[in-house]
């Protein structure tokens, strides 16, 4: 964000405004916008993000965008024209969710290692760690997540997440198929000339919404999978501080 003079604005924690659940059902932001800016920002066609309470949740943002695009297709009576971008948004949201959970598991393992004797430290396979930043194949990231959860002493991710990954993976030719027409890594460089693809965008959105509800933490007291990971992580952090 810049000021009227084009100078960077230095953010502080700032006041916490109420978030409007009607415009932010996925919790993209922790806090709401300054009420004095809501109407003028909308009239001027601008999006305002950033600041301590307005750091965007990427998972929530892509979930919201996918939801709105699918709703637009439903309202227009056709999903064909929005099929590719809707699928990309859904897929990227799924990838972000997987990596968010994987990161929790890796941090739990690292925390356990800090309070464990060196000879009992848990070794994280390079393929598992690499999935956090270098991998885009959803099935591989899912395998790494399950492996990391086991090493961390946590439960397997909910079945709804595995089902979402399988639905997405059964559609795409490559992990980059929905973004680029030509992919040098694909064995089908002229896919669209020879193949009619069917993308179940409405089904995918229902599955994605279920995952968001059952897996992602919405409050500190919900029974989501992420909150279970957070509880373990927080307990280990407390043990580290006491040691």
Give the position of tokens 């968010």: 100
**pLDDT-based confidence at residue 11 (cuts at 50, 70, 90):** very low
**pLDDT tens, position by position, 210-228:** 999 999 987 777 889 999 9
What is the C-alpha separation between 135 and 113, in angstroms, rounded? 25
pLDDT: which is higher, 168 or 180: 168
| 17 beta partners | 32
pTM value > 0.95: no
Residue 16 phi/psi, 5-degree rounding, is -100, 115
User: What would the mean pLDDT of 147-157 be, rounded to a whole number?
Assistant: 97
Distance CA 138, CA 88 (A): 13
Integer angstrom CA distances of residue 119 from 48, 78, 115, 150: 50, 60, 12, 19
pLDDT value for 27: 80
Q: What is the pLDDT of residues 230-242, one digit of tens each?
A: 999 999 999 999 8
- According to the 3-state scheme, what is the secondary structure of the chain? CECCCCCECCCCCCCCECCCCCCCCCCCCCCECCHHHHHHHHHCCCCCCCCHHHCCCHHHHHHHHHHHHHHHHHHHCCCCCCHHHHHHHHHHHHHHHHHHHHHHHHHHHHHHHHCCCHHHCCCCCHHHHHCCCCCCCHHHHHHHHHHHHHHHCCCCCCHHHHHHHHHHHHHCCCCCCCCCCCCCCCCCCCHHHHCCCCCCHHHHHHHHHHHHHHHCCCCCCCCCHHHHHHHHHHHHHHHHHHC
Q: Can you give the pLDDT at residue 197?
A: 85
- Rounded to an integer, the average pLDDT of 76-92 is 95
The per-residue pLDDT for range 113-150, each reduced to its tens digit, is 999 888 889 999 999 999 999 999 999 999 999 999 99
Question: Can you read off the two tokens belonging to residue 11?
Answer: 């953010």
> Model confidence over 21-72: pLDDT tens digits?
777 776 888 888 899 988 998 999 999 998 888 899 899 999 999 999 999 9
Sign of the Cα pseudo-torsion (141, 146, 147, 152, in order): positive
């Amino acid at each position: 964000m810049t000021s009227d003079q084009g100078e960077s604005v230095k953010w502080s924690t700032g006041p916490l405004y109420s978030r409007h659940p009607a415009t932010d059902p996925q919790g993209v932001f922790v806090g709401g916008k300054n009420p004095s800016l809501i109407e003028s920002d909308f009239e001027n066609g601008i999006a305002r993000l950033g600041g301590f309470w307005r750091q965007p949740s990427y998972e929530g943002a892509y979930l919201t965008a996918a939801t709105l695009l699918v709703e637009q297709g439903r309202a227009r009576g056709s999903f064909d024209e929005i099929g590719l971008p809707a699928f990309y948004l859904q897929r990227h949201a799924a990838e972000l969710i997987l990596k968010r959970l994987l990161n929790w598991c890796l941090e739990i393992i690292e925390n356990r290692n800090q309070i464990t004797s060196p000879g009992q430290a848990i070794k994280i396979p390079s393929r598992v760690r690499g999935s956090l930043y270098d991998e885009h194949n959803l099935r591989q990231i899912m395998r790494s997540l399950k492996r990391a959860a086991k090493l961390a002493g946590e439960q397997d991710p909910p079945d709804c997440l595995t089902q979402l990954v399988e639905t997405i993976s059964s559609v795409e030719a490559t992990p980059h198929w929905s973004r680029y027409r030509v992919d040098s890594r694909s064995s089908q460089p002229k896919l669209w000339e020879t193949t009619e693809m069917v993308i179940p965008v409405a089904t995918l959105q229902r599955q994605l919404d279920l995952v968001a509800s059952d897996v992602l933490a919405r409050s500190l007291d919900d029974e989501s999978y992420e909150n279970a990971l957070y509880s373990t992580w927080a307990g280990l952090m407390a043990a580290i501080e006491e040691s």
